[in-house]
Amino acid sequence: MLLVSNGCSHTAGAELDYPGQGVCYEKAWPKHLADSLGYDHINLSMSGASTSRILRTTYEFIYDWIKQGKSTKDVFMVILWSGIYRTEIYVENEKIDYNYDNKWTPLVVGNDDRYKNRLPPSLYYYYKSWTANMTGYQASCDFYIAVANLQNLLYRHGIKYLFMDAANSGLRTGDKRLDPYRVQIDKRYYEGLDEDHNCYTTLCNINGQKIAQGSIDSGLNSHYDEDAHRWFARYTKKIIHKRNIL
């Protein structure tokens, strides 16, 4: 069996070794979870990843897996969804060194100073316009639709999965206009849907887990150390058994 994980920096193992580190797959919780299950492991996550990137790269993985003649029955997927105020844009001809992902560039609300200095002017102004015009309602719509989209793809190919949240996503959970999208999500395989407290960062915090020294040194103070990743792997394994997923 193969465990495939996807998500943002909290799944990628950001800053486990040093400040500004984007990924550290060998020390992140998915590797510890795979080892405890006796599975092989592939981590698709990247720091700064959006819901759009998680959806896109999971589609790409499944396509490549099937193209190689491999069975989707041998895949188990665990995804920690990132916050809703993120997106990505495909940049055909520009050379960008910030979290570059096959010409896809992540855009995350709150990174204005960094983007102003590192992105081409046209892309920076796109980011400014997107930030100014994206509402919580639209971002929440996009999120629920993306989750239901991926859920249905996994159903189609018979892939077992578990969804969780990386952090408080910012969803407008009380907005009844979102019910047509929210109701399509199967809560049996989504631990913590619409529960702000039931996400990776909050769970680590309330259970006394420590921030990685690399994240302290960078000033972010947002990425947890390897012991926390080991703890979360054990926590996730209990959820898998509780929900009888495997």
Tokens of residue 35, six digits: 């080892």
Q: In the structure, what pLDDT confidence band is assigned to residue 95 with cuts at 50, 70 and 90?
A: confident
Same domain, 76 and 103: no
Q: Domain of 174?
A: 2-85+137-242
Same domain, 199 and 237: yes
Q: Beta 86-90 vs 104-108: how paired, if at all?
A: antiparallel
Mean pLDDT across 106-130: 93
Same domain, 176 and 146: yes
pLDDT for position 86: 96
Total domain count, the chain: 2
pTM here is 0.96
Same domain, 116 and 50: no
- Is residue 215 packed enough to be buried (19+ CB in 10 Å), middle (13-18) or exposed (0-12)? buried
In the predicted model, what is the mean pLDDT of the chain? Answer: 95
Same domain, 79 and 155: yes
Domain end (from 100, 115, 133): 133
Q: In the structure, what pLDDT confidence band is assigned to residue 94 with cuts at 50, 70 and 90?
A: confident
Domain end (from 133, 165, 197): 133
Same domain, 59 and 80: yes
